[in-house]
């Protein structure tokens, strides 16, 4: 197993600013979503990605629309990092007809296959086999497309984790498994639910590289993902990346997260990837504080407009309940 240090990565100022902009867009979307949920504008359940932005953005900065990702309950950040339309997401969370899934999926099933986003997923561990399938398509078609399978530490105990990594390893599928270890499977600690100290060590059981990365550092994530994605595109098979990260809010909105101490949350808040990455950008002269504030303000404008459009959009017609079960279905 390899444990990565934070490696110096050669990135242009434009790329770095683009990464920050995407991270701040995720943060603003999630904090606005939290308020919209509290205001009763969003039915059902929402699981916020705030705090984990460095993982999705560090990885997805390498990807094109022709690459695929599978996702989790906590999927908003993956969607935004992959370029899914913000207005379509907001309307979907609100259950409106203009939602990207026409109000059929909601927060836990936001998807945009055209963008290579194969869906947030309501089943913990549900995405592993799907990721293998998307990678199999690339292999059969002979393209260099890669598939990223995002999953949480809780999912690493599901059978699909074992089965899919083994299958990807023996077929050398172009897939990268990215564990977002935020320390908790719902309310259960990682220390309790996992038999090993690091999910990445499980890679040894499948004969593939396992890498531990600081998931609060977008540059470390970018570096580790770059190596794994290059390996996958070369046809050398999968990698298991474990991003040590943290969610700033509860498992879902409404969860007071009593299983975490205030000190623990505060310690991670001090390492907020937006603060540390922002300091890196200003410290290296790539951006000024005013530049970063401007990006946040633009993100807020974008997200506010998305939610305003969603609030003004029609509800689906109840008759639409019957649509989209099948492409075609004769009779009963």
Partner 1 sequence: MATVATRTLTYAEAVNEAIRISMRQDPNVILLGEDIAGGADVDHLVDDEAWGGALGVTKGLVQEFGRGRVLDTPITESAFIGAAVGAAATGLRPIAELMFVDFFGVCMDQIFDQGAKLRYMFGGKARCPLVIRTTIGAGLNAAAHHSGCHYSVFTHMPGIKCVAPSTPADAKGLLLAAIRDDDLVLFFEHKLLYGLSGEVPEGDESIPLGTADVKRVGNDVTIVAISRMVHQALEAAEQLAAEGIEAEVVDPRSLSPLDSDSILASVAKTHRLVIVDEDNPLCSVAHTIAAIVADEGFDSLDAPIRCVTAPHTPVPFSPPLEQAYIPSPEQIAAAVRAIL
Query: Which listed residue (31, 85, 163, 198) binds partner 1 by CB under 8 A?
Result: 163
Does residue 137 belong to the site contacting partner 1 (CB under 8 A)?
Answer: yes
Does residue 314 belong to the site contacting partner 1 (CB under 8 A)?
Answer: no
Q: Which is nearer to partner 1, 16 or 148 (CB)?
A: 148
Q: How far is the CB of 107 from partner 1 (least distance, A)?
A: 11
Give the chain's largest Cα–Cα span. 66
175, containing H or E segment: strand 175-181
> In this structure, how many other beta carbons lie within 10 angstroms of the beta carbon of residue 46?
23
Q: How far is the CB of 217 from partner 1 (least distance, A)?
A: 30
Tell me the per-residue interface mask from 248 to 287 with partner 1, x by CB under 8 A, - otherwise.
Answer: ----------------------------------------
Does residue 64 belong to the site contacting partner 1 (CB under 8 A)?
Answer: no
Question: Would you list the DSSP string of 87-124?
Answer: HHHHHHHTT-TTSTTTTSS-GGG--BGGGTB----SST
Q: How far is the CB of 322 from partner 1 (least distance, A)?
A: 10
**For residue 307, which of 54, 128, 91, 38 has the smallest C-alpha distance?**
91
User: For the chain, first and last CA: distance in Å?
Assistant: 54
Q: Which is nearer to partner 1, 119 or 210 (CB)?
A: 119
Distance of CA 197 to the CA centre of its chain: 23
253 neighbors 34 (Cβ within 8 angstroms)? yes
Distance of CA 295 to the CA centre of its chain: 21
> What are 166's two structure tokens?
């083994």
* Piece of 100-108, 177-185, 271-279, 291-299 that binds partner 1 (CB under 8 A): 100-108
Q: Which is nearer to partner 1, 113 or 187 (CB)?
A: 113
Q: Which is nearer to partner 1, 109 or 193 (CB)?
A: 109
Query: Which listed residue (29, 68, 184, 277) binds partner 1 by CB under 8 A?
Result: 68
CA 11 → CA 103, 114, 228, 242, distances in Å? 39, 28, 17, 23
Does residue 61 belong to the site contacting partner 1 (CB under 8 A)?
Answer: no
Does residue 172 belong to the site contacting partner 1 (CB under 8 A)?
Answer: no
4 neighbors 58 (Cβ within 8 angstroms)? no
The residue behind tokens 């990837």 is: 273
Does residue 83 belong to the site contacting partner 1 (CB under 8 A)?
Answer: no
Query: Which listed residue (103, 174, 210, 218) binds partner 1 by CB under 8 A?
Result: 103
Q: Residue numbers of the site for partner 1 (CB under 8 A)?
A: 68, 70, 99-105, 109, 111-114, 118-119, 121-123, 126, 128-138, 140-141, 159-160, 163-164, 166-167, 170-171, 323-332
């Amino acid at each position: 197993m390899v444990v990565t240090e934070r490696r110096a990565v050669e990135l242009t100022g434009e790329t770095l600013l683009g990464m920050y902009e995407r991270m701040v867009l995720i943060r603003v979307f999630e904090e606005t979503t939290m308020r919209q949920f509290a205001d009763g504008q969003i039915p059902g359940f929402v699981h916020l990605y705030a705090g984990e932005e460095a993982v999705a953005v560090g990885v997805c900065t390498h990807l094109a629309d022709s690459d695929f990702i599978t996702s989790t309950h906590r999927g908003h950040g993956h969607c935004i990092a992959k370029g899914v339309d913000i207005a379509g997401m907001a309307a979907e969370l609100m259950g409106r007809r203009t939602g990207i899934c026409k109000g059929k999926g909601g927060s836990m099933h936001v998807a945009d296959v055209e963008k290579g986003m194969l869906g947030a997923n309501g089943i913990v561990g549900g995405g592993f086999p799907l990721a293998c399938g998307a990678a199999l398509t690339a292999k059969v078609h002979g393209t260099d497309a890669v598939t990223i399978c995002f999953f949480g530490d809780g999912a690493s105990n599901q059978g699909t984790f074992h089965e899919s990594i083994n299958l990807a390893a023996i077929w050398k599928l172009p897939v990268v498994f990215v564990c977002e270890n935020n320390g908790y499977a719902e309310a259960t600690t990682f220390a309790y639910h996992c038999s090993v100290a690091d999910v990445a060590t499980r890679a040894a059981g499948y004969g593939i590289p396992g890498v531990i990365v600081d998931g609060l550092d977008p540059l470390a994530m970018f570096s580790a993902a770059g190596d794994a994605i290059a390996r996958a595109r070369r046809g050398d098979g999968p990698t298991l990346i474990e991003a040590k990260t943290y969610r700033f809010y509860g498992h879902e909105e409404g969860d007071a997260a009593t299983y975490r101490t205030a000190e623990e949350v505060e310690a991670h808040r001090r390492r907020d990837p937006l603060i540390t990455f922002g300091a890196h950008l200003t410290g290296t002269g790539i951006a000024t504080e005013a530049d970063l504030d401007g990006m946040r303000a633009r993100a807020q404008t974008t997200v506010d407009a998305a939610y305003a459009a969603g609030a003004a959009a029609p509800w689906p017609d109840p008759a639409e309940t019957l649509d989209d079960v099948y492409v075609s279905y004769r009779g009963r």
